[in-house]
């Protein structure tokens, strides 16, 4: 009987630990994200929301000697894979394809599709600043 109770206790603890684990999935994209590797004087911040697999959001950018402005983002989230299209108010459009490497880290590559000759795809990463707005799935 003690063996059965011990096995049951271990099983209940294991299920509880799995249920509380910090899993990375589409819902992990929800929140406020900052670009990591911006050159000095540049920044990109995007507040992303999720509805099913559709990602959307608004943000802001600043560029050294370019001023600052706003962005809008659309995309998809499937598992830990993320595809984003960000449109800047100055006409620039970038695509980002990446992976949620943790609930607070997003890494991949970005390409300027508004003028592909200006900028080849390059590595890009983001870190989570906040978990707002509430998750909707």
Range in 13-22, 27-36, 88-97 with the lowest mean pLDDT: 13-22
Q: What is the CA radius of gyration of the chain?
A: 19
Mean pLDDT of 23-45: 85
Whether the Cβ atoms of residue 42 and residue 63 lie closer than 8 Å to each other: yes
pLDDT digits (tens, 9 = 90+) for 55-66: 999 999 998 887
Task: Name the pTM for this structure.
Answer: 0.75
CA distance 67 to 14: 52
Residues paired with residue 125 on neighbouring β-strands, in sequence order: 107
CA distance 94 to 23: 28
pLDDT digits (tens, 9 = 90+) for 14-27: 333 334 445 778 88
Domain 24-130 - what CATH class? mainly beta
Mean pLDDT of 79-88: 96
CA pseudo-torsion sign 125, 110, 68, 57? negative
Whether the Cβ atoms of residue 44 and residue 71 lie closer than 8 Å to each other: yes
Q: What is the pLDDT of residue 21?
A: 43
Mean of pLDDT over the chain: 80
- 3-state SS, residue 27: helix
| Sheet strands (E) in 20-92 | 31-35, 43-51, 54-63, 67-78, 81-88
CA distance 97 to 90: 22
């Amino acid at each position: 009987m003690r063996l059965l109770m011990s096995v049951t206790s271990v099983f209940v603890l294991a299920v509880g630990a799995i249920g509380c684990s910090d899993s990375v999935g589409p819902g992990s994209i929800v929140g406020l994200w900052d670009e990591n590797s911006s050159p000095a004087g540049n920044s990109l911040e995007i507040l992303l929301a999720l509805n099913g697999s559709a990602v959307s959001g608004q943000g802001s950018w600043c560029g050294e000697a370019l001023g600052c402005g706003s962005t809008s983002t659309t995309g998809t989230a499937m598992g830990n894979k993320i595809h984003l299209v960000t449109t800047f108010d100055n006409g620039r459009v970038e695509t980002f394809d990446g992976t949620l490497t943790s609930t607070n880290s997003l890494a991949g590559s970005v390409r300027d599709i508004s003028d592909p000759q200006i900028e080849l795809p390059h590595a890009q990463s983001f870190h989570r600043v906040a978990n707002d707005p509430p998750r909707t799935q």
